[in-house]
Structure 1
Amino acid sequence: MRHNGEVRGPGGATPARPRRRRRRVAVFLAICTLLAGCGLVAGGYYFDSVPTPTDLKLPESTTVFYADGRTPMAKLGAQNRTIVPYDEMNDSAKQAIVAAEDRTFWTNQGIDVKGVLRAAWANVTGGQRQGASTLTQQYARVAADLRGVTYSRKLREAVIAWKLDDTYSKEEILGFYLNTVPFGRGAYGIEAAAQTFFGKTVRRDAPAAQQLTQAEAMVLCAMVKQPEADPADPQGAPGYDPARNATAKQNSIDRWNYIRDGMVKLGYLTPRQAADLAYPDTVRPVDPDAGRSDLDRPTGLVVNHVLAELRRTEPFRGKPDEVIRDGGYRIVTTVDKRVQDAAEASADIRRDSAPEAVRGQPKNWQAALVAVEPGTGRVLGYYGGDRGSGADYAGWYYDEKGQARGFGQHPPGSSFKVYDLAAAVRDGISVKQRFDSPDTKEFPASGRTRGSAAGPIRNAEHAPCQPDCALWEATVASLNVTYFELTEKLGTARVIDMARRAGVESMWETVRGNPQPQRVDLRGDPADQVAKRFSTEVGIGQYGVTVQDHANGMATFAAGGKRADAHFVRSVTKGDEEVWTEQVRQTDLGLDREAIDQLDWTLRRVRAARLDNGWDSAGKTGTWQAGQSTTQNVHTWMVGWTGALASAVWLGTTDGKPLRTRGGSYEVYGSTGAAPIWRQFMSRATEAMKLDPDRYRFREPSFPGDAPEPSPSTPAPTTSAPSPSASASATPRPTPSSPSPRPTGRPTVRPTSSPSPSPTGSPTRSRGPR
């Protein structure tokens, strides 16, 4: 029979008042007897300090979702718990738990009177301590954190249960219990258990196929008796999780049968229904990674950035992380599961899905990849390493203590020339303007002469146009001489300002006497002040930037010069309350349509940036050499965009040593290392997003006042890098700022190989970046 929509016990009737009073008298006498047995004169303390469920702050796990708001990325919190209001639960677990743990629940007064009297009598006579508890007592034990089988604990448990039963309805108490009790595998509460063991929900408004069934609920409620294996004898006393071992499964079946019999006695099932009910063999296997809370996977690094971002928002500023982790929030990230899968498949070079050029290379090879949505700044994909608890090679963030974490800064080499080019076209310098581009050239104003320690600027490659090249030709061939001259012409402040406004918020300078490059916040002082900390070599990519910042810069160009801050969080909600939502703001770089068109037109001619899936794409490779070597590279890059997606890829080594293929070759460049990762990722991601490439075509520039240039289909010169031998993957770099830790055992790495460092550093002689 039902009472207020709930199936009750046999007869279904609520006890009559006289009977209720008689029971209360019996309970009171039992408690007094137990009090006397304990030698306590007054019980006022026990009544005055009883915590009520409204006072109980249950830690509720926070769930981090992908951008679709449906696919979980990670569970956070000390306890995996998702609270579901009682009236939103289906009946399956409500009935099963009563049949399993307290068959008199709907008629008792919250206390097992006979059990309390037995405990009292045993206490008076010195007999064995007694145990059995009602559901209400079990909840009271959890609510008040009562542990052990002592008389005072039993007394306090009984008093709390009595007060609970006097204050709350049976439905409320059962709801408290089902949201509180542990079920095993770290799941607290019936909803977390349903998700953990069966991938289902107890919500009655969910589709029927997704709701926990009666038979499945009986399996879960059997586990309450012993949620985890006995650590002293895990094989002999494994509990009731049927996936743990054969003994545990038999325990589960036996108790499942016991619960089924109880449900018949209580009228929840007819004998025929019980006979037709089958024990479910659909329990999920024990996940060996369950204890990782998803934070040791690549997306664990995303969670680190999510938490860092939320700490700066008004709802969470100044509060400890436990407020977020145990607050029961729904955090929807910007990360698109389809894009993230493509990022991990391409940049995790230990996987068979990685491009052949970088797959199976030495263990010290490492890659990082970040993808950003143009116009919104949403980070759609992020791969900074294969473990969330490990080093982050794609970026950095502040942890809860305000310490900078991550190892994501790397000298960008020639990939940084995109900002030089953007600054040039913004200032009206046509990509057809010609520059003197010999293989070697002195720049006295910047201290690069044959008599200086750094020496003149040298091109790493040769182009057919030399010694007189148009800017677009020098870009495609990545001529350092041309870009050093361009940087002098523009001024370092203009180049840095363009990079900053596009999305590069930090850059690492070389400080004399300090072995580690130091982070400079480009958003702080005006560009002309910041520029004093860097030399002209900034234009050819000597100073470290993060993969995340570089990707955001590319997204700005993909959006036609409209910059948005890169971010990881779309929304935070709790129940029906919106706690926080993203604020997308755009700023304009000041690039007109012609400037953007010339930028696209030039960078789409870089051969490494060409996709074979019908998308218009633009990009730039980059390489940075080891020390004074002219043949060995530590860092390789590929950055670029389509109209719908921008990304940056870095490939290097975890120990700062030069990239060397498994075959022993040092011939690893941006075009043969990072570029294959970038192309595979961009092709797979754009395909997975199911977007129409025709909607994102590049426009042709007008080149006002200039003679016609070759059509986009005309082959363009490219850097004469050797053909791919084995290839590379990303290298870890020093910490983002001085407080940051460095990977264990990793030697210090200078910002290496190229023109002189900053004016404050000691110059080095090299051919420079590619």
Structure 2
Amino acid sequence: MGRADERGARQRGARRAGTAGPTGIRRFFTWRKLLGTFFGFCLIVMGAFFVVYLMVPVPAANAEAEMQSNIYKYSDGTVLARTGKVNREIVGLEQIPKDVQYTFVAAENKSFFEDSGVDLKGTLRGVKNTLTGKGKQGGSTITQQYVKNYYLDQDQTVTRKLKELVISLKVDQKKEKSEILAGYINTSYYGRNAHGIQAAAQAYYGVDAEKLNVAQGAYLAALLQAPSQYDWSSASETGRKLVTERWNYVLDNMVEEGWLGAGERAGLEFPVPKAPRPAPGMEGQTGYLVEAANAELARQGLDEEDLKGGGWTITLNVDRKKQRELEEAVKDQLEEKLDREDSKVDATVQAGATSVDPRTGKVVALYGGTDATQHWLSNATRRDYQPASTFKPVVLASALENESRTQDGDPIGLNTVYDGTSKRPVKGSDTPFAPQNDLGRSYGPVSVQTALNRSINSAFAQMAVDVGLDRVKETALELGVPDVNFPERPAVSLGTMGASTWDMAGVYATLDNHGKKVTPTIVAKAEHKDRTVELPDPIGGSVVSRETADTVTAGLTGVVAQGSGVAAKSSAYEAAGKTGTSEKNRSAWFAGYTPELTTVVALFGESTAEGGGQVSLTGTANSGRANGGGFPARIWGDYTLDALNGGSDASFDLDVAEPASPEPDPDPTPSETETEDPDPTPSETETETRDPDPTPSETETRDPDPTPSQTQGPDPTPSGGVTFSPPVEPDDGSGERLRPQD
């Protein structure tokens, strides 16, 4: 071998020796192996994801996602109240305008209608941000946000984000895009305690979702990115600038996608939302109305547990205008005259009222008390007080319906004559009863019409015995008087059972409706996405004949025209009614009606001491004796005039066999007939002052509850006048001492 060959051999050997190591490493990390390893890893990841995909089910909705408030509305659709933990009312996509639907897609996920429900890049970025502590990710699809809101929680963890990805894929495969979009819009939080678009539409624009326009929808869609920062009413200048930019971004995307015309877009102005208002609470009359509605629904099988689930829209029959007028009437005629702070008597006064449309049975207004958050028991529906002489027309109705006769065999009608002597013992009763008339007055022979006008106890006690106490009770229950402590004794003629203004409104509405049964109904409809409550017809069949009902009505027009109810009299409407004052002056009532409206108003004396209890109303607003012809009748008249928009030409269409014949007034002195003290204790009756020179207005209207200056009631500071001893309380035979009532 030559030198040259040896040198070449050495060089080749050196190269082989020098490349032995690197060749081995390269052999281990060849690009083929690296690529194979990568694909192998991807297969492992894909396999693991497939396993996870199979193992992670679509869970049930989280509890909060399905929570809704119950919405209570007036008859005109105005929201009265919302109840429940979450302010949400789920609405179907068909109730959201199409262009408003598109605003949410344009704001969050323009490819929503074509994508598979996930944004892999955005999700990976979110996982990275979570691992590095950089906070929330962006870029999630509408489907992913819906899954997060509806199925999962708001925790920012890797596990939750992986679940979100898997569930989003499954949900996109199982649900229609429209269902996903509706779910997203209904579960998102918009600020102002509004969950879902319906609550947001009300909170920001005061309209239902179906009334939103595209500009308003774009604002709500933009709002979702930062609800508190973008709320116009509280946003900083920067926040307002940012939300305006995002609003424009949403609309521009809609034009780009062909969902909004460029010309229409150019004409849109930023829709500044309304200032925030507190959510309707239970204060004032609201709580009483909601309570009455819930009680009625419970009677139809919808109990408290059903309502707890939320999602109910309950529309009431309550007329918002009439409700306001009833509240104002109580304020003007009663509350402004009371001194609840410094007067022990005034502090005990509770007012209640129920107003019904006699042709439909709808409860159009209700007054439950001063404030449902302060006095929880509704004075409109409570049954712990006696309706007193408002029951007397029921006795007459029973007499007419049963064609009853007096002890002398005379048929009972408005012209039938009874002995109106005070403390006259009733005849024909196994239970002795000698009721005293108001203030012990004796009237002698009087017609039934006069007995109604003057609320003469002795006449109606005898009439109840003549009819038969069992028949009186039967008629009463048919008309709607509740069977609460209902005695079958002559004293029942004085209304000694328990009843509410709601109950008595039904009784008088039935008379107003010519004898066809009226069941007061406050709920117009109750709807839920899963069910609707079937409500019975408030108008039933005849429980007394038309002639019976109309004859009673004819008699009650006399009570308003010239009897104890003259404070309710007005030339603006035709009215019928009856006063009532229970024993010991504990409650005072006026039940009256026009051809179009039936309303019962009552005052109750309720102790302010712990445990409550019934107390006398005497001295209310320094006006002496409280009676049904006073505050209740004046409240009734004030409300009725306004509720009828200043009056009505409607007249009673009466079918009366025997109209009442004109009869001289047996007690023409106003000062002697205006009050009807049911329980004159010594302190209340020691003096009776009389106005020596009444003005024409005082004698013509015969105000049944004048103030002390009008001098028909007892003067708390005696200055002379007629004095008399308190009457002896009669006994109905049961051992119970009964005091005279009107």
**For this structure pair, what is the TM-score category when the shorter chain's length is used for normalisation?**
0.7 to 0.9
Among candidates 281, 297, 322, match of residue 310 of structure 1? 297
Instruction: Pick from 343, 362, 365 the counterpart of residue 349 of structure 2.
Output: 365
* TM-score (ref. length: structure 2): 0.73
2:230 aligned to which of 224, 233, 240: 240
Task: Tell me which of the two structures has the higher relative contact order, counting C-alpha pairs closer than 8 angstroms and 6 or more residues apart.
Answer: 1
Higher radius of gyration, 1 or 2: 2
Is structure 2 residue 97 aligned with structure 1 residue 97?
no
The whole-number CA distance in structure 1 between the counterparts of 2:490 and 2:326 is: 34
State TM-score, norm by structure 1.
0.71
The answer (yes or no) to whether the contact 2:333–2:631 under 8 Å persists in 1 is no
For the Cα contact (< 8 Å) 1:306–1:569, is it kept in 2?
yes
Aligned residues: 627
**SS of equivalent residue, structure 1 residue 621:** strand
CA deviation map 1:523-562 (0-9, x unaligned):
xxxxxxxx6x443211112232111111111111112222
**Could you tell me how far apart the structure 2 residues matched to 1:254 and 1:201 are?**
26
State whether residues 296 and 388 of structure 1, in contact with CA within 8 Å, keep that contact through their aligned partners in structure 2. yes
Is 1:552 the counterpart of 2:500? The answer is no
Cα deviation code 1:27-46 (max 9, x no counterpart)? x999986998xxx9951465
Q: Does 1:264 align with 2:252?
A: yes
| Alignment of structure 1 residues 252-651 onto 2, 5 Å | 252-261=240-249, 263-264=251-252, 267-268=255-256, 277-281=268-272, 283-288=273-278, 290=279, 292=281, 295-313=282-300, 316=301, 320-322=305-307, 326-328=310-312, 330-347=313-330, 349=331, 353-354=332-333, 362-388=346-372, 390-396=375-381, 407-426=382-401, 427=404, 428-442=411-425, 456-461=434-439, 466-507=443-484, 509=485, 533-573=487-527, 580-591=534-545, 593=547, 595-607=548-560, 608=565, 610-626=568-584, 633-651=585-603
Shift, 1:638, TM fit: 0.3
Q: Assess, with a 3 A threshold, how the Cα gap between structure 1 residues 321 and 418 changes in structure 2: closer, same or farther.
A: same
Amino acid at match of 1:254: L
One-letter code aligned to 2:242: D
2:133 paired with 1:131: no
In structure 2, how many angstroms separate the alpha carbons of the residues matched to 1:30 and 1:182? 38
- Go from structure 1 to structure 2 and tell me whether the alpha carbon gap of 1:176 and 1:88 turns closer, same or farther (over 3 Å shift): same
Kept in 1: contact 2:482–2:498 (CA 8 A):
no
Supply the AA of the counterpart residue of 1:339: K
Report the Cα distance in structure 2 between the residues aligned to 1:575 and 1:391, rounded to whole angstroms.
31
SS in 1 for 2:642: helix
More strand by share: 1
Task: Write out aligned runs for 1:147-296 (5 A).
Answer: 147-168=154-175, 170-203=177-210, 210-214=211-215, 216-227=216-227, 238-243=228-233, 245=234, 247=236, 250-261=238-249, 263-264=251-252, 267-268=255-256, 277-281=268-272, 283-288=273-278, 290=279, 292=281, 295-296=282-283
Shift in CA distance, 441/118, structure 1 to aligned 2, threshold 3 Å: same
Asked whether the 8 Å contact 1:638–1:671 carries over to 2, the reply is yes
Provide the rounded CA distance (Å) in 2 between the counterparts of 1:240 and 1:31.
45
Distance 2:559 2:225 in 1: 66
- Structure 1 residues not aligned, in runs of 5+: 1-25, 204-209, 228-237, 397-406, 450-455, 510-530, 627-632, 728-752
Specify whether residues 311 and 31 from structure 1 end up closer, same or farther in structure 2 by C-alpha distance, changes over 3 A only: farther
Q: How many angstroms apart in 2 are the aligned matches of 1:716 and 1:475?
A: 17
Is the CA contact (8 Å cut-off) linking 2:352 and 2:369 kept in structure 1? yes
Q: What is the aligned partner in structure 2 of residue 630 from structure 1? A: none
For residues 555 and 650 of structure 1, the distance between their equivalents in structure 2, rounded to whole angstroms, comes to 16
Report the alpha carbon displacement of residue 429 of structure 1 after superposing the two structures with TM.
0.6
The 1:71/1:29 distance shift into structure 2, 3 A limit, reads farther
Describe the SS at the equivalent of 1:563. Answer: strand
Which residue does the alignment assign to 1:725?
Answer: 707
Note closer, same or farther for the CA distance 1:359–1:276 as it changes in structure 2 (3 Å cut): farther
Q: Over residues 648-695 of structure 1, what are the superposed CA-to-partner deviations in whole Å (9 max), with x where a residue is unaligned?
A: 11012332332255754433221112110111222222337x86414x
Distance 2:378 2:132 in 1: 66
The Cα of 1:576 is off from its aligned counterpart by 12
Q: Quick one: distance in 1 between partners of 2:728 and 2:229?
A: 64
Cα-to-partner distance string for 1:407-462 (whole Å, 9 max, x where unaligned): 3431122222111222223324122222222233345957657xxxxxx5221147
More helix by share: 2
| Alignment partners' CA distance in 2, 1:473 and 1:264 | 81
Query: Which residue number corresponds to residue 668 of structure 1?
Result: 626
Q: Aligned partners of 1:466 and 1:266: how far apart in 2?
A: 86
Matched letter for residue 650 of structure 2: P
Match of 1:118 among 125, 130, 139: 125
Percent of aligned pairs with the same amino acid:
25
Q: Shift of the alpha carbon at 1:504?
A: 0.8
| CA shift in 2, pair 1:180/1:278, >3 Å | same
Unaligned runs of 5+ in 2: 1-37, 341-345, 405-410, 608-613, 676-703, 710-726
Q: CA deviation at 1:364?
A: 3.1
CA contact (8 A) 2:587 2:602 kept: yes
Q: Does 1:679 align with 2:637?
A: yes
Which amino acid letter does the alignment assign opposite residue 602 of structure 2? W
TM-aligned CA distance change 1:716 to 1:55, over 3 Å:
same
Deviations 1:686-728 (A, max 9, x none): 337x86414x34456535xx9x53599x99989332642289x
Shift of 1:177: 1.0
Deviates more, 1:533-542 or 1:573-582: 573-582
1:105, distance to aligned residue in structure 2 (A): 4.3
8 Å Cα contact 2:623/2:706 also seen in 1:
no
Stretch deviating more after TM superposition (108-117 or 498-507): 108-117
